[in-house]
Amino acid sequence: MLCSDLYRKISGFLVLAALASCNAPLNEEPEIIVTLDPEFTVDLFEQRDAVDGAPVFGLWMESMKQFDCGNYNIEATVQVQAGAVVVELQEIRKPDTCLGAPGPAKGFLPVGNLANGTYQFSLSLSPVIRSEGTLRVQSGHYELSLPVQQGIDFQNRVLESIPDNYIWGYANTPAEPDQPVADQLVQHLKAFTLEPALMPGFYSYFTISGTGQYFFHRSIAPAGQHRPFLRRLPAGPDDVRDVLQGYRNGHGRPFEVRCLSTFGEL
């Protein structure tokens, strides 16, 4: 399914541009400038593999439009060659089976692990709707300069890679009896982990504010009540796995905890 609303808007702009060109002198090339309100939000993003936590750099993209269910996917092609990153939107794919509440189409568009340097960057929603700039990569720091945005709202252009030995996640607390259990879990984790040692910035899955507070990115933020955690590990993840398993299987009722880490999803 192509982004039909987007292409209808593009067609309208091109008709207006064609009409305007009729008034241009015959010996002049008319300058056609196409502008479009944002149709998608985009973030620089470093996704962690669920099995081993290996990072892959790319883009997190969501549509402004809401669809019937939450599992519509955004598909695109990504090419990295000759010092350039070229991303071209292909389609918004309707799922075979509609799952979840209404929501935006979304998807992670993997670019790959880039060597340090400066890259020409291009993101196209169609042949005539293109945003261009430069992407600078330096030892886990990504910074995008995008002078003109066409059809997109790039919300996070500066990205920091999460250092090794970090965990982050939340315990869902849909019912009042879950809240003290979630608090107990977080205190248990604090007993053998360390406070985060991160500078303010955007770290894909969460943002650290200037006061040290953190909040989750929309890609993982739960909809309901929850107790979040972000901790640094002095060693490997085995102790965390044991604690999480105990809480998930104990307390006489299912207890949902999501824990991501630089070691994979625990």
H or E element that contains 155:
strand 152-156
Q: Are 82 and 106 members of one domain? A: yes
SS3 content of the chain, % helix, strand, coil (to 5): 15, 40, 45
The pTM of the full predicted model, rounded to 2 decimals, is: 0.84
Of 141, 169, 140, 160, which Cα lies nearest the Cα of 231?
Answer: 169
Q: Are 173 and 83 members of one domain? A: no
Domain range for 208 is: 166-261
H or E element that contains 88:
strand 84-93
Give pLDDT, residue 175: 84
H or E element that contains 235:
none
> In the block, which residue shows the tokens 């309707």?
94
Mean pLDDT on 135-151:
94
- CB proximity list for 52: less than 8 A, separation 6 or greater: 263, 264
Q: Are 113 and 195 members of one domain? A: no
- How many domains does the chain fold into? 2
Q: Are 176 and 115 members of one domain? A: no
Q: Higher pLDDT residue, 243 or 255?
A: 243
249 located within any domain: yes
Q: Is the pLDDT of residue 214 over 90?
A: yes
Q: Are 71 and 176 members of one domain? A: no
Q: Are 249 and 224 members of one domain? A: yes
Give pLDDT, residue 21: 38
Per-residue confidence band for 17, with pLDDT thresholds at 50, 70 and 90: very low
* Cα distance between residue 158 and residue 144, in whole Å: 6
Of 115, 116, 110, which Cα lies nearest the Cα of 56?
Answer: 110
* Cα distance between residue 42 and residue 133, in whole Å: 14
14 located within any domain: no
Inter-residue contact 51 to 87 (CB < 8 Å): no
pLDDT in tens, 163-213: 999 999 999 988 888 899 999 999 999 999 999 999 999 999 999 999 999
Give pLDDT, residue 250: 75
For the ranges 44-53, 121-130, 218-227, 252-261, the lowest mean pLDDT is seen at 252-261
Residue where a domain terminates, one of 126, 160, 194: 160
211 located within any domain: yes
**Which own/partner contact pairs does 95-103 have at CB distance under 8 Å and 24+ positions apart?**
95/69, 95/71, 98/68, 98/69, 98/71, 99/69, 99/70, 99/71, 100/69, 100/70, 100/71, 101/69, 101/70, 102/66, 102/67, 102/68, 102/69, 102/70, 103/66, 103/67, 103/69, 103/70, 103/72
**Which own/partner contact pairs does 14-18 have at CB distance under 8 Å and 24+ positions apart?**
14/128
- CB proximity list for 182: less than 8 A, separation 6 or greater: 171, 172, 173, 226, 227
Inter-residue contact 75 to 90 (CB < 8 Å): yes
Local structure of residue 164 (DSSP, 8 states): S
Give pLDDT, residue 77: 94
Of 187, 192, 210, which Cα lies nearest the Cα of 200?
Answer: 210
Give pLDDT, residue 176: 85
Q: Are 49 and 132 members of one domain? A: yes
218 located within any domain: yes
Angle between helices 178-192 and 238-249 (to 10 degrees): 160
Q: What's the mean per-residue pLDDT of the chain? A: 87
Of 156, 154, 121, 122, which Cα lies nearest the Cα of 141?
Answer: 156
Q: Is the pLDDT of residue 127 over 90?
A: no
Q: Are 96 and 176 members of one domain? A: no
Give pLDDT, residue 251: 64
* Cα distance between residue 78 and residue 91, in whole Å: 13
